[in-house]
Chains A and B, each alone.
Chain A
């Protein structure tokens, strides 16, 4: 629990917000009741979250698509669409508001990148610092082809080696017989 960077499960954020309001009052009993209630609340929370663009299905789907492209900085393996961290809630609200204000998707993404860096993008832009990231797989494949070609050539050379001479045949036969003899005894 370093920082306030926890990844809440559904309902947890509601509990934490309630906790914040009540912590001064110290109403512990009420809190545990709330905790129980909070586990039953996720549907209500999802509904409340969807209100701003609910009237406009196009805007709503834009908001969802955008928030799926953006990474939540608190729960780093979740997108802003999936995460229930407070920050993700706030950023979803930002997206809704900016769509309502007529901003383009690009402007909204730029807004996020200006504040949180390329890290918020699941698909990082091609830059001097990310060239290796983008070209890496292709380079690895080229390396693979190179090794494959070399191996195949080496194998062909092996196949092309001259057959055994008569003396070598004899030695091989002797060795084989000797081995067999040992095995038998």
Chain B
């Protein structure tokens, strides 16, 4: 009797594995950069190309890095959420305008709204590679010490925002006493 149950047991285990497999997304490759210092960059700003913005300028505050492009279809999906988030002035969002035409990028922001404190131009995608970007959009949560704490692959969803990103941002903001006020672009 016991012997007869063995194939059934194997089958159940197999089904279990397959069920778990159904829930996994092979497109979401865990980033090795989590809990590592964010890659250094100094890039020209989208709206004022003469001005540069670097990782060093953002130290001391929690910030989001959102990789976007005007040619990116699913960026439109997450965009209203980002605009809403920027209105709430909880956390500054820096936009990495990835492999885009600056003109097209600016036009896109005019059309859909600009949630970014600053957008910087990554014309040839080199900084994107440093951040391990492989699909746009991607969003990174970076803490006051400049360490990457979370990476959202694909569009930011309301669920991800409420369950992961915002709680993490609040926790990181509370981590040190002198919390710099989140600034939005004037």
Contact = CB atoms under 8 A, between A and B. Distances in A.
B104 A20 contact: yes
Contact of A91 (B103, B129, B131): B129
Interface string A2-16: 111100000000001
A5 B137 CA distance: 10
Nearest to B134: A73
A86 B124 CA distance: 11
Interface stretch (B25-33, B42-50, B83-91, B112-120): B25-33
Interface string A105-143: 000000001111111000000000000000000000000
B79 to A, nearest CB: 14
Contacts of B31: 116-117
A23 B71 contact: yes
| Residue of B100, B101, B103 ringed by the most chain A CB atoms within 10 A | B101
B129 A90 contact: yes
Contacts of A115: 32-33, 129-132
B94 interface: no
B135 interface: yes
A2 B154 contact: yes
A86 B133 CA distance: 12
Binding site secondary structure of chain B: loop
A182 B154 CA distance: 73
A103 to B, nearest CB: 15
Contacts of A74: 134-135
Interface residues of B, number: 33
Interface string A87-111: 1001100100000000000000000
Contacts of B130: 115
A95 to B, nearest CB: 11
A114 B134 CA distance: 14
B104 A3 contact: no
Interface in B38-85: 69-74
Contacts of A94: 129
Given A115-B131, A116-B32, A118-B32, 4 more contacts: A2-B154, A3-B154, A16-B71, A73-B29
Interface of A: 1-5, 16, 19-21, 23-24, 73-74, 76, 86-87, 90-91, 94, 113-119
The list of the 3 closest CB pairs from A to B, nearest first, reads A3-B135, A73-B134, A5-B135
6 contacts: A16-B71, A23-B70, A113-B32, A114-B32, A116-B29, A116-B32
